[in-house]
Structure 1
């Protein structure tokens, strides 16, 4: 087991299965695209344990609280980590997190999007440490997001070259 997976286990956290899109929705793209020593991460949202996008539904400041938004962003981090694990084989292949773009579906007067996206950032830094986990970030408000999810996050990570990590 790699060290990031061990940290997840110690925290009592599990990675969700691949995203299950709602009926009638086609997702003709990959969730993670590896280009050389970078992995581009498509937008992810909070997943339920069965892989559906039903863990949190609604807008922050309307149906959901800021604290629930924080938890939704934390679940989104797990969703992204699950996709990275399936694509890379090991979460330890991530040498450092680069940039994150966080979107928050919220009421028009909600202005604390950074606090919501902190749910993602806090977990990534807890798992990877300051050196590898620190990332640049944007947190913006949206009138709506796909499937009614409150948070969507995309990003980019840098990967260790194959010769530094062994059998990759």
Structure 2
């Protein structure tokens, strides 16, 4: 078992299955694209263990509370880790988290996007520690996100040289 797999187990965290897309939906891009030492991951949303979209759906500050948004960001982190592990074979290949863009499906007047995206950052720091897990980031509000998800996150990690 890899060091990161052991850490996930210690924390009681389980990586979800790949996202089960809504019927009739196709995405013409990869979840993760590896270019040299870079792994760029496409926008992910909160996913349950079986690959289904997590609930609740809707705008943070209206149908979704800030606390539920924080939880959605944590679930999104697990979905991203699942995609990275499937593509890389091992999460131990990650040398550093470089940058993430956290998007929050925000109700008018909601301005706590950083607190919501902290759910992602907190989980990555718990799993990888501050040396590897620290990352630059943006947390922004969006008028809408695909399928009504409350949070979407994309970004980049640096891979260890083999």
CA contact (8 A) 2:17 2:82 kept: yes
Q: 3-state DSSP class of the match of 1:132? A: helix
| Runs ≥4 residues deviating over 4 A | none
Displacement of 1:145 in angstroms is 0.4
Q: Deviations over 1:52-100 (max 9, x none)?
A: 2233311111111100000000000000000000000000000000000
Normalising by the residue count of structure 2, what TM-score does the alignment of the two structures yield? 0.98
- 1-structure distance, mates of 2:113, 2:146: 17
Query: Is structure 2 residue 27 aligned with structure 1 residue 16?
Result: no
1:13-52 map, 5 Å: 13-52=13-52
Counting matched residue pairs gives 162
Contact 1:97–1:134 (8 Å) recurs in 2 = yes
Contact 1:53/1:147 (CA < 8 Å) preserved in 2?
no
TM score, norm. by length of structure 1:
0.94
Give the drift of 1:154.
Answer: 0.1
After superposition, residues 153-168 of structure 1 pair within 5 angstroms as 153-162=153-162
Query: Aligned partners of 2:125 and 2:84: how far apart in 1?
Result: 16
- Residues in 2 aligned to 1:48 and 1:127: alpha-carbon distance in whole angstroms: 18
Aligned partner of residue 110 in structure 1, secondary structure: coil
Q: Provide the C-alpha distance between the structure 2 equivalents of 1:76 and 1:12, rounded to a whole number of angstroms.
A: 16
